[in-house]
Structures are given as C-alpha cells and as structure tokens.
Amino acid sequence: MWIRMENILKALKTLSEGYRRDPTLPSWIEQSFFMSKNVNLTSATFVPHEDQYHEVGNKLGPSEIVIDMGSGDLRFPLMVASKVKKIYAVELNPELIRIALGVVGFHLPPNMVVICADWFDIPIPNDVTTITCLCNDPEIPPSWFGYKVILGGNEIQTFSPKPVGSFPQ
C-alpha cells in the first residue's frame, strides 16, 4: 500500500515538533547526540528552515543531481525528490535518520539516497551538480568548491564557492 508523500511529510513534521521543547533550541535528540560527541551545540544544531523549503526547491530542476547537507528529519529531501533527477540526503545524527526512516519506512523515493555522515568527511559523489544546505551559517568545506551551492539560513544564497585567493577566469 502506497502512503501519500504529504502524509509522510506531515508525520515527520509532527514528530520533529514533538521532540522540540523550545523551537529556538535543539531537540533532546540533537542535544544528546552532539553532547556525546563533545560538539559545541551552538555551531552544530539542526535548525529547520521550512519556510525556505519551497523557495529552495523551486531553484532545482529535473536534470539536477543534488546532495543536501544537514538533511535532519529528511523532510526537505523528500519534498524535492520528485523535482530532481537524484538526491543524496546527508545527515550527521544517526538518531534523526533512524526516527525519520521509522516514519517513512520503505516509502523512500527511488531516486533518494540517505547517508549518515559528516559533510566535512564525505566525498561528493561524482554525479552531483548541486549542493543544498539549509543550516544556519554553515562552514563551507573545500570539497564544495566548483559546485552550484544553495544555502538557506538567514537568507537564501546561490553561488559557486572558490578557494580563497582564486580569480575569475
């Protein structure tokens, strides 16, 4: 039996909000994970910018192969999977992925790949054309240089990062 994507997204949103005592703070899942790794919560928390999901999604086309960094509960990658050729959803926190997959089950879109990894450590797959990241002020690793990057957070930005000191050709 196929479950409608809208129902899955609604269930993920409800579940995510249930874990968040204060919307300005990370959920207890995020707090416990990052504290166990001795990571500073102010620099590594998932802050969903759902108000930007549609705007960023509209910047993606059917020929694009996207890697979404910091996918959290997978709502954004699930939402845009039907708009793009392929999407990789990268999330550092395995507990968030476990909970999201518990809701989604076997209903992942066939063009979506979920990866539990740190975006600083994962090599960008060769087929990727675009990197999205809806986290607040992410640090851009050198592996993102040369790709179309769409950042959310305080404002949506689209650019191709270049190494410091490089000049346009």
The reply to whether 167 falls in a domain is no
- Tell me whether residue 56 is in a domain: yes
Supply the pLDDT for residue 44: 43
Q: What per-residue confidence (pLDDT) applies to 114?
A: 95
Q: Is 127 among the domain residues?
A: yes
Tell me how far apart the alpha carbons of residues 145 and 11 are, in angstroms, rounded to a whole number: 36
How far is Cα of residue 87 from the mean position of the Cα atoms in its chain? Answer: 10
Q: CA 112, 4, 76: angle at the middle one, nearest 5?
A: 40
Sign of CA dihedral 151, 155, 160, 165: negative
Q: Is 135 within the bounds of a domain?
A: yes
The Cα 169–Cα 166 span in angstroms is 9
10-residue stretch averages of pLDDT, the chain, 169 residues long: 58 58 51 56 51 88 95 89 96 84 83 93 94 82 89 75 53
pTM: 0.74
Structure tokens at 156: 């949506």
Closest by CA to 93, choosing from 77, 116, 121, 112, is 116
Helices (H) and strands (E) in the chain, counts: 6, 6
For the record, the structure tokens of 146 come out as 């040369």
What per-residue confidence (pLDDT) applies to 166? 46
Q: Which CATH number is 155's domain given? A: 3.40.50.150
Interatomic CA distance for residues 111 and 160, integer angstroms: 24
Residue 166 belongs to a domain = no
Residue 82 falls inside a structural domain: yes
Please check whether residue 44 lies inside any domain of the structure: yes
Helix (H) or strand (E) holding 14: helix 5-19
Q: Is residue 63 part of a domain?
A: yes
Q: What's residue 48's pLDDT?
A: 59
Range of the domain at 84: 5-159
The number of folded domains in the chain is: 1
